[in-house]
Chains A and B, each alone.
Chain A
């Protein structure tokens, strides 16, 4: 038998271990004073007053607030925009008629000639540390990102601007190696820090991030809970709500439960299956940005076997798919049939281009005409659980194709593997998920250039198809347009061409979905990176009453 002191020692060890675990849990972050306590019943907040503290749960890691660092998530662009600002970004214009470029720190911008981009920054803009914004700030940020020793994603997008030159205190000029007005679509990634950042490491700046934006950082541990406070000195007025807490909750069901429990005000990316649980609660609502994302399948038009080089076969694929039924049954109606490469909101969108109608007889007739009355087989690479209902949609499309004789072997792959196979041109048909981002330069570059490594494909399948050569010429022309109007015309032509050539199997758009507390009355603003404060109010606009916000209001 052990003696008494030994027994007590054991008890003490257990108690101490438990205490350490519990103390460790509470050591880093205290619960937000702004949130409802877990014991508070949902909906106990006063209905009449709009809560001034919002907790937002997002799917991705929150990254950090240093605009010169990479954090490996899309949130690295979305969240810092609350604190730092770019020169300009893309969103629905205030008149609600279309998307376009909206100036942030830029007073005006121009292309004096096709290879020169000039921006004059706003005068009198102050950073939260009192620094005044100048063109030097912009050059510093640009050079640090683009000429980094280990360049990141942004560097690849922005480097088309070439070398930056300071013209005067408030003007910066870029000398581009080739004309590229499409860079306007990537400018939102160039967030401007104060020059004080020069003397700091990324970690030091992350600890005390400073910007010109509507919020100040209270706390932003890398990939941790972000706590922001509206900045009194913001030049457009104080943002609402006063306090914003943003944290990562990877599991979609848990995000919804945060809203149902009353501890979250906004939950991002609500799964279709959970919509009813939110909608059935009178204090919650599902808020959406309609058709903000699309799903298509890029067809490998080099291939003769399967016979995808034949336009009639590609059109047959498109006629064989009942998009409306898929949207209704798989997406619960939270989307729409995709008309072509571009849909409402894009530069070059043409409402006269309609989705291919569901016409299996016509699909069969086209296959007969092309010499494949019994159809053919092909393989098709997809992701599982990366995009909304990606594998379910693929299975539905595959079963519809089977009805016209096209047998599809679905190959679920990890995204890294899928992208690698696409770069090698090793696919018959492959998934394409894309958000609305106004200028379609990257969309077309991805689908018409990088998805077809000619050097690898031509030895096996023959010369580059004429239709692809033509489309690439159109991409180049649109990319080097000298004005936005001209770009719109050229992308409009390309949109129609890709639709008629059926380069892709067009499927559907899907809404961005959020679960929210009704009393915060939050509506997303149509843009490629939605912010989690009342942007409508800040822009002096009336937010739509309808929780389903269209990409354009008119």
Chain B
């Protein structure tokens, strides 16, 4: 196992540099930040002056090299548009993104997994059909539409929750529910199919024959053996939700990373985009590693295998 962890640690900077290079080249090829920075009346000379002041007159390789050499020391440069250190801007938004991602993942797990178990146990019944119908709806509904409907119902009509913002716990409810639905549906479907497979296994029959209660069989024998795909899906989704919750952040005015990165990409604010991508890619890599480590915890066979390596 140590070898796996070590290999991941060695791969991390290589993966990061590769991701950053691709993003940097894409941004460079599709627009010039000076066009967005300069006022409309700026002459070619004005733009050249700005380009020089911000180091954008250097060849792309030099710009990227300078960025990397500074980034190693934690200096991602300053935002072209906001003047503030890029990493500070990204870190300011990270807690909001983390809260939303964790909350929505928890909702998805807490609701989605039991829903899948119930659907599997009551296979073919009305409960199963209702649960899977709900899951299908969750995966096919557009998140912006769902978000607006939730606002209309709970904020405009019932006045139970606020419309948008980031001012207190009650502001988290609607964005987290909106963001969770897709993962919730996915987990429900995945749990159902995995459980159906496992419930027909001999060891489950043996457990029942031993006289164990139904819930004990389900939780300790069946569910435990479905955890690997569930853990993988939930872990990776958490990473995706950190930076990819654009629509939900926009609808609920949630000050997360997604909106900052979108705004920065559109303006070609390289330092902020690259700082954000570095953070997200790092989190993603760490989450992947954690998921791998969790495999060892949930599946003793892997632990055995890792030990024997």
Q: Are B81 and A261 in contact (CB under 8 A)?
A: no
Bound together, the chains give a CA A258 to CA B161 distance in angstroms of 12
Q: Are B41 and A254 in contact (CB under 8 A)?
A: no
Q: Please give, as numbers and ranges, the residues of chain A lying within 8 Å of B266 by CB-CB distance.
A: 414-416
A419 within 8 Å of B (CB atoms): yes
Residues 392-445 (chain A) with a chain B CB within 8 angstroms: 414-417, 419-420, 423, 441-443, 445
Residues 42-86 (chain A) with a chain B CB within 8 angstroms: 42, 57, 61, 63, 69-72
B82 within 8 Å of A (CB atoms): yes
Given A22-B172, A38-B163, 16 other A-B residues pairs in contact with their CB atoms under 8 A: A1-B220, A21-B102, A24-B95, A25-B99, A28-B166, A29-B166, A29-B167, A39-B159, A151-B50, A151-B53, A153-B38, A254-B151, A254-B253, A416-B32, A419-B32, A445-B41
Q: A71-B82, A261-B159, A420-B31 are in contact. Are A30 and B168 (CB under 8 A)?
A: yes
Q: Are A223 and B255 in contact (CB under 8 A)?
A: yes
Q: Are A423 and B35 in contact (CB under 8 A)?
A: yes
Q: Please give, as numbers and ranges, the residues of chain B lying within 8 Å of A225 by CB-CB distance.
A: 165, 167
**A153 contact from B37, B79, B155, B159, Cβ within 8 A:** B37
- Pairs across A and B, CB under 8 Å, 16 listed: A26-B168, A29-B166, A29-B168, A30-B167, A30-B168, A72-B81, A72-B82, A72-B267, A150-B83, A153-B39, A156-B50, A222-B84, A223-B255, A257-B164, A417-B30, A442-B39
Bound together, the chains give a CA A71 to CA B44 distance in angstroms of 23
B276 within 8 Å of A (CB atoms): no
Q: Please give, as numbers and ranges, the residues of chain B lying within 8 Å of A331 by CB-CB distance.
A: none
Residues 260-290 (chain B) with a chain A CB within 8 angstroms: 263, 266-269
Q: Please give, as numbers and ranges, the residues of chain A lying within 8 Å of B83 by CB-CB distance.
A: 69-71, 150, 152, 202
Choose, from A94-102, A366-374, A446-454, the stretch at the interface. Answer: A446-454
A247 within 8 Å of B (CB atoms): yes
Bound together, the chains give a CA A69 to CA B33 distance in angstroms of 18
Q: Are B156 and A261 in contact (CB under 8 A)?
A: yes
B211 within 8 Å of A (CB atoms): no
Bound together, the chains give a CA A225 to CA B148 distance in angstroms of 22
Tally chain A residues at the interface, Cβ within 8 Å. Answer: 68
Q: Please give, as numbers and ranges, the residues of chain B lying within 8 Å of A416 by CB-CB distance.
A: 30-33, 35-36, 266-268
Q: A38-B155, A70-B82, A449-B43 are in contact. Are A257 and B148 (CB under 8 A)?
A: yes
A249 within 8 Å of B (CB atoms): yes
Q: Please give, as numbers and ranges, the residues of chain B lying within 8 Å of A254 by CB-CB distance.
A: 148, 151, 163-164, 251-253
B24 within 8 Å of A (CB atoms): no
B197 to nearest A CB, angstroms? 23
Interface 1/0s, chain A 9-34, versus B by CB < 8 A?
Answer: 00000100110011111101111100
Q: Are A257 and B172 in contact (CB under 8 A)?
A: no
Bound together, the chains give a CA A72 to CA B269 distance in angstroms of 10
B304 to nearest A CB, angstroms? 20
B56 to nearest A CB, angstroms? 11
**A250 contact from B80, B169, B259, Cβ within 8 A:** B259
B106 within 8 Å of A (CB atoms): yes
B203 within 8 Å of A (CB atoms): no
Interface 1/0s, chain B 39-69, versus A by CB < 8 A?
Answer: 1111110110110011000000000000000
B128 to nearest A CB, angstroms? 27
B152 within 8 Å of A (CB atoms): yes
A201 to nearest B CB, angstroms? 11
Q: Please give, as numbers and ranges, the residues of chain A lying within 8 Å of B44 by CB-CB distance.
A: 423, 450, 453
Q: Are A257 and B42 in contact (CB under 8 A)?
A: no
Q: Please give, as numbers and ranges, the residues of chain A lying within 8 Å of B47 by CB-CB distance.
A: 423
Binding site for B on A (CB under 8 A): 1, 14, 17-18, 21-26, 28-32, 38-42, 57, 61, 63, 69-72, 149-153, 156-157, 202, 222-225, 247-251, 253-254, 257-258, 260-264, 414-417, 419-420, 423, 441-443, 445-446, 449-450, 453
Q: A153-B38, A450-B40, A450-B43 are in contact. Are A414 and B163 (CB under 8 A)?
A: no
Q: Please give, as numbers and ranges, the residues of chain B lying within 8 Å of A63 by CB-CB distance.
A: 82
B171 within 8 Å of A (CB atoms): yes
Q: Please give, as numbers and ranges, the residues of chain A lying within 8 Å of B171 by CB-CB distance.
A: 25
Q: Are B32 and A253 in contact (CB under 8 A)?
A: no
Bound together, the chains give a CA A419 to CA B79 distance in angstroms of 20
**A263 contact from B32, B103, B162, B220, Cβ within 8 A:** B162
B250 within 8 Å of A (CB atoms): yes
**B172 contact from A25, A30, A72, Cβ within 8 A:** A25
Q: Please give, as numbers and ranges, the residues of chain B lying within 8 Å of A249 by CB-CB distance.
A: 164-165, 253
Bound together, the chains give a CA A449 to CA B102 distance in angstroms of 52
Q: Are A21 and B155 in contact (CB under 8 A)?
A: no
Which of A24, A443, A449: most chain B CB closer than 10 A? Answer: A24
Bound together, the chains give a CA A202 to CA B85 distance in angstroms of 12
Q: Please give, as numbers and ranges, the residues of chain A lying within 8 Å of B30 by CB-CB distance.
A: 414, 416-417
Bound together, the chains give a CA A456 to CA B53 distance in angstroms of 24
Q: Please give, as numbers and ranges, the residues of chain A lying within 8 Å of B50 by CB-CB distance.
A: 151, 156
Interface 1/0s, chain B 98-109, versus A by CB < 8 A?
Answer: 010011001000
Interface 1/0s, chain B 168-189, versus A by CB < 8 A?
Answer: 1111100000000000000000
Q: A70-B82, A247-B253, A420-B35 are in contact. Are A38 and B172 (CB under 8 A)?
A: no
**A156 contact from B42, B81, B163, B172, Cβ within 8 A:** B42
Q: Are A22 and B169 in contact (CB under 8 A)?
A: yes
B297 within 8 Å of A (CB atoms): no
Closest residue of A by beta carbon distance from B264: A72
Bound together, the chains give a CA A192 to CA B220 distance in angstroms of 69
Bound together, the chains give a CA A470 to CA B242 distance in angstroms of 55
**A72 contact from B79, B164, B169, Cβ within 8 A:** B79
Closest residue of B by beta carbon distance from A38: B162
Closest residue of A by beta carbon distance from B161: A38
Q: Please give, as numbers and ranges, the residues of chain B lying within 8 Å of A17 by CB-CB distance.
A: 102, 106
Bound together, the chains give a CA A72 to CA B165 distance in angstroms of 21
Q: Please give, as numbers and ranges, the residues of chain B lying within 8 Å of A253 by CB-CB distance.
A: 148, 251
Bound together, the chains give a CA A222 to CA B255 distance in angstroms of 11
Closest residue of B by beta carbon distance from A73: B81
Q: Please give, as numbers and ranges, the residues of chain B lying within 8 Å of A453 by CB-CB distance.
A: 44
Q: Are B168 and A450 in contact (CB under 8 A)?
A: no
A88 to nearest B CB, angstroms? 19
Bound together, the chains give a CA A23 to CA B78 distance in angstroms of 31
Q: Please give, as numbers and ranges, the residues of chain B lying within 8 Å of A157 by CB-CB distance.
A: 39, 41
